[in-house]
Each structure stands twice: as structure tokens, then as C-alpha cells.
């Protein structure tokens, strides 16, 4: 599990100096905030103002009128306390730049006075696991339960296919392939031209459908299953298959030599157990 400071950074604001990968992670920080709760132990690593130790809320958000005038906004919960020799709280070391609303200050002090020290270190616990320990498996499940999905998912992950190909298909369907246009937008220095044809800029649509090298590759694939070729662009080809009906029916001996009748329906996806159908359905989803 990450250190407390790493989680504090993750739950904080997006900084301009952060890496592109970390910025992508921060886009889901609202989900991350809702997924973890702070368990205060010895208070050494708990920020008094910025951490949600105050009834599950951050004091800086619960009392913004006080936070605006605080001198030490990053003071820890431990250092903000004044203790006697018996370890009892006798006061709070919270300094302000100016006079603050007495009502708000009194309410805050009354709320935090009963707060007691616990044994152990401060830590964030994951709400989605029984033991409170974060796991990628639990995160995957909760993301899917909450509807973060892609229409191509059932055609990518539910068929026997090399994992590296499934991952590439998933990145393409999610429009996350590291093509040159995306890398340049993230600050990488490179020429934008397609490495294969050197005629157009390298984008997701170009590298998958519009590049002449890609078209030759798809036509070779289509020849294996006796589908009509496309010569210029993939999208117009979709609408011309079988006279524009978007449905293509064929009796075909597949590579396993077993005769099979299959239906390619670009609108509904057709049979889920047909690998050829799935591949073309994925292409259609990418091209839209």
C-alpha cells in the first residue's frame, strides 16, 4: 500500500508538475476519495486541516471561514494538540492571522476536544474489502458494478485470444492507444507523421483504418473469410457490405475445417461465439 503522503497527494489537487500517468489517475480522485476512509492512530501523519478525520470530513471544508486565516495549514493533528504530563489534551495549537468568528471556533473546539489518541499508525482503509486492504481485484469489481464500461468489452474479453491482443483492442476501443497525436499532446517531442505511410498524421483512426498499410492488412484478413475488400476508407465499406444492408450472411469453411453458417450483423453484433463476427464487430465499434 502507498505511503500516507502519497495518498494525501492523490486525494489533493492536480498540479502542473505531475506526470501524465499520474494526472490520468487523478481524474478518478472523486471515486478514490469515496473508496477510502482515514483511521487515525497516533496522529503523526494526519493533517489537521486537510485530512478527513473530523467525522469523515476535512476541517478546511467544514470550517472554511477559519481555514482562510490559519497560519499553519499543513500542521499535523499531533502537533496541533497541547498535552500535559499525563498526555491529556489541555489546549489546541491553532494560530490564525486575524480575529476569527468566535462561534465557529468554539464549535470546532467543542467537536474535537473529545478526540482521543489510538494505538498504531494513521492509515487509509479501503471500503470495498473486508480487511480494509486495497486490491486491484476489488477495484475492478466496483468499477464494473458502478457502470464504468465500454460497449466493446463483451467482444474483447470473452473470447480465447492472446492477452496482448485483447489489451491492444481494449486500449483502442477506449481510445487510449499511445498514438503520436496523444503523445505530442502530453508533451513528447516528435514528428506527427505516420511511421508507416508518412503521408498523414498518426491518429487512432488513421493507424487502424485509414493508413494504406492498414487497409492492405485488413484486406488480407477479409480475404481469408471471403469478404469483399475495401479500397479507401473503412467507414464507407461498412455501409456497402451486402448492398448497404449492413448485414452479411455467408456459408464458409472456417480454419478448423468445420462448416459453419454465421451472420455478421454490424448493428447488433450477431452471434457471440463467432470469432470472425466478434473481430468485425469490434472494428465497427472503433470506426464509429
Evaluate if residue 285 carries a pLDDT over 80.
no
Residue 66: pLDDT band (50, 70, 90) is confident
pLDDT at 71: 85
Of 269 and 187, more confident: 187
Residue 288: pLDDT band (50, 70, 90) is very low
Evaluate if residue 50 carries a pLDDT over 60.
yes
Residue 212: pLDDT band (50, 70, 90) is confident
Evaluate if residue 11 carries a pLDDT over 60.
no
Of 154 and 288, more confident: 154
pLDDT at 202: 93
Evaluate if residue 214 carries a pLDDT over 60.
yes
Residue 142 makes CB contacts below 8 A (sequence gap 6+) with: 35, 128
Evaluate if residue 277 carries a pLDDT over 50.
no
pLDDT at 279: 46
pLDDT at 193: 93
Percent of all residues in the chain with a pLDDT value above 70, rounded to a whole number: 45
pLDDT at 192: 92
pTM for this entry: 0.37
C-alpha cell at position 245: 444492408
Residue pLDDT, tens place only, 150-196: 566 667 776 677 888 888 888 888 788 889 998 888 888 899 999 88
pLDDT at 95: 79
Amino acid at each position: 500500500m502507498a505511503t500516507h503522503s502519497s495518498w494525501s497527494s492523490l486525494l489533493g489537487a492536480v498540479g502542473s508538475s505531475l506526470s501524465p500517468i499520474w494526472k490520468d489517475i487523478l481524474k478518478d480522485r472523486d471515486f478514490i476519495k469515496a473508496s477510502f476512509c482515514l483511521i487515525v492512530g497516533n496522529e503523526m501523519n494526519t493533517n489537521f486541516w486537510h485530512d478527513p478525520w473530523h467525522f469523515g470530513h476535512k476541517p478546511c471544508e467544514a470550517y472554511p471561514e477559519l481555514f482562510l486565516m490559519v497560519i499553519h495549514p499543513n500542521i499535523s493533528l499531533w502537533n496541533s494538540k497541547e498535552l500535559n504530563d499525563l498526555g491529556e489534551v489541555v489546549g489546541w495549537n491553532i494560530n490564525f492571522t486575524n480575529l476569527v468568528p468566535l462561534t465557529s471556533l468554539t464549535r470546532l473546539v467543542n467537536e474535537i476536544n473529545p478526540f482521543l489518541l489510538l494505538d498504531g499508525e494513521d492509515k487509509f482503509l479501503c471500503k470495498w474489502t473486508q480487511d480494509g486492504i486495497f486490491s486491484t481485484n476489488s477495484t475492478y469489481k466496483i468499477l464494473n458494478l458502478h457502470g464504468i464500461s465500454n460497449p466493446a468489452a463483451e467482444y474483447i474479453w470473452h473470447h480465447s485470444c492472446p492477452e496482448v491482443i485483447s489489451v491492444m483492442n481494449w486500449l483502442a476501443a477506449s481510445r487510449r492507444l499511445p498514438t503520436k497525436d496523444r503523445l505530442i499532446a502530453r508533451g513528447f517531442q516528435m514528428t506527427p507523421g505516420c511511421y508507416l505511410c508518412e503521408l498523414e498524421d498518426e491518429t487512432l483512426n488513421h493507424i487502424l483504418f485509414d493508413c494504406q498499410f492498414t487497409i492492405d492488412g485488413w484486406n488480407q484478413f477479409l480475404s481469408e473469410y471471403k469478404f469483399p475488400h475495401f479500397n479507401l476508407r473503412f467507414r464507407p465499406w461498412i455501409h456497402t457490405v451486402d448492398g448497404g444492408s449492413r448485414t452479411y450472411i455467408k456459408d464458409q469453411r472456417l480454419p478448423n475445417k468445420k462448416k459453419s453458417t454465421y451472420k455478421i450483423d454490424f448493428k447488433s453484433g450477431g452471434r457471440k461465439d463467432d470469432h470472425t463476427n466478434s473481430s468485425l464487430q469490434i472494428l465497427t465499434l472503433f470506426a464509429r
